[in-house]
Structure 1
Amino acid sequence: MFRTARADRTRRSSFRLRAAAGAAAGAFVLAGCSSGGDGPGEAAGGVPVVEKGKLTTCTHLPYPPFQFERDGKVVGFDVALVDLVAARLKVQQKILDTPFENFKTGAFLNSGECDLAAAGMTITEERLKNVDFSVPYFDATQAVLATRKSGVTSLADLKAKGKKLGAQSGTTGESYAEAQGFDPVAFESSDAVLNGLRTGQVDAVVIDYPVVQGWLKDPKNAAEFAVGQNIETGEQYGFSVKKGNGKLLAAIDKAITDAKADGTYKKLYEQWIGPLPQAAR
């Protein structure tokens, strides 16, 4: 989906709903098109939730290895971490697939559709104006992935050769590319980014490095594409909540810090992403 796909994104506002079959197992099934449920409630510790017995998470699928569908279930690093929060609150996690641009404004948090947002989302000053973020849970970098036949090894190379660059719309990768003087072709999802590269709509893309790592595990992708440049941008991911939702924010922060202290974070990181960097331990 290329630049003209921006107009199509409004259609995605009729988002898919996936209900948790069990917080600890991270199992989710297709459930319908509205939140339904028993209305607002309270989780353990007096934490307010938009649906009784649930911790409702807004995300944007797919974004492996953070959240994606496998065997009919939504799984990934973000999903596993939020399951820890749900277990602490004695509720089940439920996932709503929503347009990524809404995470900038906190729209679904403010409207009461979701309790938190988890979407491999970088903490930025712009986003902090609209939502509150948890403690960081992941240090991120960007990567340039190019077709091998393009001969591109960097953004400078891309510009010199007059090649086309793509990025996922609304992401820091897109913002970084624009700051470097590019007008990247905007794709609505990470799947669309990869498809744009595969079909020749673009010659290279800039996107989060863990996503690239996941793609290159497929031998077919590894034969066709190569990482041209790693970009250290100093980004950190966080989970977001509605501004002022201090009780939920505290529960999320506690779940993350405890998981890092007791080894659970390391186990989940290695399961979904790979070896844990020394600096993150």
Structure 2
Amino acid sequence: MKIIKSIIAAAVLSAAAMSTAQAELRLGLDSAPYEPFYARTAGGEWKGFEIEVGEALCKAMNEECVWVPIAWDGIIPALTSNKIDAIVASMSITEERMKTIDFSNKYYNTPAALIAPKASEIKSLDDLKGKTVGVQVSTTHANFAEAKIPGATVKTYQDFNEHNQDLFAGRVDAIVADSLALEPFLKSKEGEGMEVKLTLKDEAIFGLGVGAGVRKADTELKDKFNKAIAQILEDGTYDEIAKKYFAFDIYGGAN
């Protein structure tokens, strides 16, 4: 009897431990820095606009959250295989991605841009014929380059910062990326010789903004994100965070 009681007690404790372990909402983000949205400090803490927004959403949802870094091209598989509960990582809401996962309403929206050396004579996408364009793998920017820049060689990178360095080194002629994420590079010593050549718009490819990615079956979590997004927009929390990082409307107007 004592043995049976011990087994039952152990099972209860194990179940409680599992329940506690699973109580945290696991938010996936790219393991590479993507400033000013997210980056890891020397002490190992995550900082940035999206980190603050994510934590504000967790507070509004009354959820304990933990950030889980994952290589970008593995982040959707990590979600669908239940290694994370949501993607909060500057992922654009697109029809292609919605074939596999679902999204909350947007929580920000910025346009894509093509940057190149100031000395280059690139004025249109046609001017990229025969040139090499750098993009981060598994992004809407990569999809755009493949579909909309005929005659160019598209070179993909695992890390957003790697294509910036290759542009500086002259190994690519231009890169396509988020206009806001490119700002720190353009203001850096390496990027001072670069400039935005084109602002790119294509709703079919770039989508309607950035949202939290969730599994298609997780309608309850999607609804919680949507209510939390609405709450932090309404109560001023979102604006308070955004003003720390941007001098313009990062939300991008009406949804």
Structure 2 matches for 1:192-203, cutoff 5 A? 192-203=162-173
Give the gaps of 5 or more residues in structure 1: 1-37, 42-50
**2:57 paired residue among 78, 81, 85:** 85
**Quick one: structure 1 residues 246 and 155, their matched pair in 2 at CA, closer, same or farther if it must change by over 3 Å?**
same
- Per the normalisation by structure 1, the TM-score is 0.75
Query: Does structure 1 retain, via aligned residues, the 8 Å contact 2:25–2:63?
Result: yes
| Cα displacement string for residues 113-140 of structure 1 (whole angstroms, at most 9, x for unaligned residues) | 1110111111111211211100011223
Residue 31 of structure 1 corresponds to which residue in structure 2?
none
Residue 39 of structure 1 corresponds to which residue in structure 2?
18
Structure 2 matches for 1:65-144, cutoff 5 A? 65-72=36-43, 73-103=45-75, 106-144=76-114
**Quick one: structure 1 residues 242 and 207, their matched pair in 2 at CA, closer, same or farther if it must change by over 3 Å?**
same
Aligned amino acid, residue 224 of structure 2:
A
**1:254 paired residue among 219, 227, 245:** 227
In structure 2, what is the Cα distance between the partners aligned to 1:254 and 1:163? 45
Give the drift of 1:253. 0.9
Give the drift of 1:175. 0.6
1:64 is aligned to 2:68: no
Give the SS at the match of 1:143: strand
Residue 14 of structure 2 corresponds to which residue in structure 1?
none
In structure 2, what is the Cα distance between the partners aligned to 1:279 and 1:137? 9
In structure 2, what is the Cα distance between the partners aligned to 1:217 and 1:242? 38
Structure 2 matches for 1:234-249, cutoff 5 A? 234=203, 235=207, 236-249=209-222
- Please list every run of at least 4 consecutive aligned residues from structure 1 whose deviation after the TM superposition is greater than 4 angstroms: none
Residue 224 of structure 1 corresponds to which residue in structure 2?
193
Query: Does structure 2 retain, via aligned residues, the 8 Å contact 1:142–1:233?
Result: no
Aligned amino acid, residue 217 of structure 2:
G
Give the gaps of 5 or more residues in structure 2: 1-16
**Quick one: structure 1 residues 278 and 53, their matched pair in 2 at CA, closer, same or farther if it must change by over 3 Å?**
closer
| Cα displacement string for residues 13-33 of structure 1 (whole angstroms, at most 9, x for unaligned residues) | xxxxxxxxxxxxxxxxxxxxx
Give the SS at the match of 1:211: coil
Query: Does structure 1 retain, via aligned residues, the 8 Å contact 2:61–2:225?
Result: no
Higher relative contact order (CA 8 A, sep 6+): 2
Q: Which has the larger radius of gyration?
A: 2
| Cα displacement string for residues 31-54 of structure 1 (whole angstroms, at most 9, x for unaligned residues) | xxxxxxx4345xxxxxxxxx4442
- Per the normalisation by structure 2, the TM-score is 0.82
Equivalent pairs: percent with the same residue?
27
In structure 1, what is the Cα distance between the partners aligned to 2:187 and 2:253? 23
Give the SS at the match of 1:269: helix
Of 117-126 and 83-92, deviating more is: 83-92
Query: Does structure 2 retain, via aligned residues, the 8 Å contact 1:59–1:95?
Result: yes
